[in-house]
Amino acid sequence: MSSKEGKKKLEVEFQPPLIIVKSRRGLTVLDKLSNYSLTYWVGWLFTIFMPIIAILGLYIVIRSVNLIVSNAVAREFIRSVTPLANLLIPGLNPYLPIVYGWIALIVGMIVHEWAHGVLARSLSFPVKSTGVLFFLVVPIGAFVEVDEKEIRAARARDSGRVLAAGPGSNMVVALASLLILLTLLGSASPVIDGIGVSAVVEGYPAHNAGIKPGDVLISVNGVSVTNMVDAYSVFSKLKPGDRVVLEFVRVAGGTVVNSYSAEVSVASNPYNSSRGYLGLGGIGLREALDNYRGAWGFNPFIYLVWPTFSTANQELIPFSDLMSRFYISPLGPLLPIMANLFFWIWFVNFNLSIFNALPIYPLDGGQTFRALLQAALKNVAGEAVVKRLTLGVTFIVLSLVLSMFFFPYLLSQ
């Protein structure tokens, strides 16, 4: 191969701070994948899923806006985490881990772009090049240059399959990652059944007795407590001044380090002086694990709760920094690492999928919406009408999305 031919096959562009490396070599891989008979059916499957994903995305957006408008506590919480929490950019988003976040984002972008490319080649659309995108020297994604003019000029059934491939593939990866996550958690169990101490309030009996977050309460006055129902039935009867004996175990590295007891005098509840208070926050360990594994059946939105948020959020998630110390698995210390990795791949791909499926032009969903309008109105209205309708829907949906950023600050009360 001559140096001239090599230059044609590999092209580097520097657009500070981005480095774009384009190559035509990836086209060979795209062509091979596009020739599988399964690709044809997957393309149609993605086309069917696209409106379902878009409706799900609209539901989440509308539900979020309604919550913000109607709930002052929700607005206050959103203001406290800042608008950066809405950005899927590791390093800017304070709750998105750098390593897990970048891995998940790169996986999402590669899957999205290559799915477009494979479906485009399967339908004989030109693909100009493939490549890798770097932020300085750090790879942050991949891209596939599909000829957009050809896509816009194609039949809706063909362009729709290419456009649906991105959000559809992201959703498949998301659901597969969630399944792997739940499978991993299926191997976990509490180091010991009891109430995991999640917080100790300074200046109250638990703190004064030397109880620490990460300890596990196993009995109160000799009565075993293995779940929150047991704990509530005991603690709800305590009055200020009562003496209680608390039995704890301390866990570390997936094993019980030691056990100890603490006899304390119950203090007054700061919110209700007639009730007892120990200054102890806890969560039933087996309950937390079972509730998370089974949430798909009663509240799947739990799987969108980040394991990096506040203590209250972390208590719901067995692999969070707060809770992972309480569980063991044949995977050993790899369990929280693998669980967090697949959680963020699930979370990022899910959000990439629903956002790109929304009818916002020029996102995939917006382009698909425009193609469907052109097909439906080709004998009724011209290109100008289709364009106005597309932009009108884009404005409405984009306004809803942006309201999630601005309403918490505009509606201060």
Three-state DSSP class for 263? Answer: strand
Give 344-374 pLDDT, tens digit per residue. Answer: 999 999 999 999 999 999 889 998 998 888 8
- Residue 303 scores a pLDDT above 60: yes
Cβ-contact 328, 256 below 8 angstroms: no
User: Which DSSP category does 93 fall into?
Assistant: B
Domains, the chain, with CATH or none: 3-183+344-410 (no CATH), 189-327 (2.30.42.10)
Cβ-contact 164, 364 below 8 angstroms: yes
Report the interhelical angle of 156-185 vs 285-293 (nearest 10°): 160
Cβ-contact 145, 132 below 8 angstroms: no
CA atoms within 13 A on the CB side of 161: 20
Three-state DSSP class for 72? Answer: helix
Distance CA 400, CA 413 (A): 20
List Cβ<8 Å contacts ≥24 apart for 251-256. 251/191, 251/192, 251/214, 251/215, 251/216, 251/325, 251/326, 252/214, 252/325, 254/191, 254/327, 254/328, 254/332, 254/333, 255/191, 255/328, 256/191, 256/192
Q: Per-residue pLDDT averaged across 59-73, rounded?
A: 88
Confidence of residue 140 (pLDDT cuts 50, 70, 90): low
pLDDT value for 178: 97
Determine the residue type at 32: K
Distance CA 211, CA 201 (A): 10
Give 157-176 pLDDT, tens digit per residue. Answer: 888 999 999 999 999 999 99
pLDDT value for 277: 92
What the block records as the tokens of 266 is: 């119950």
- Residue 1 scores a pLDDT above 50: no
* 22 to 12, 14, 25, 130, 138: CA distances (angstroms): 6, 11, 9, 6, 16
Mean per-residue pLDDT of the chain? 88
- Residue 8 scores a pLDDT above 60: no
* 127 to 96, 147, 157, 197, 331: CA distances (angstroms): 33, 6, 19, 56, 43
Which of 141-174 are b and which e, b meaning 16 or more Cβ less than 10 Å from the residue's Cβ? bbbbbbeeebbeebebebbbbbbbbbbbbbbbbb
Alpha helix (H) ranges present in 123-244?
148-153, 156-185, 205-208, 228-235
Three-state DSSP class for 314? Answer: helix
Q: Per-residue pLDDT averaged across 299-323, rounded?
A: 91
Percent of the chain with pLDDT strictly greater than 90: 51
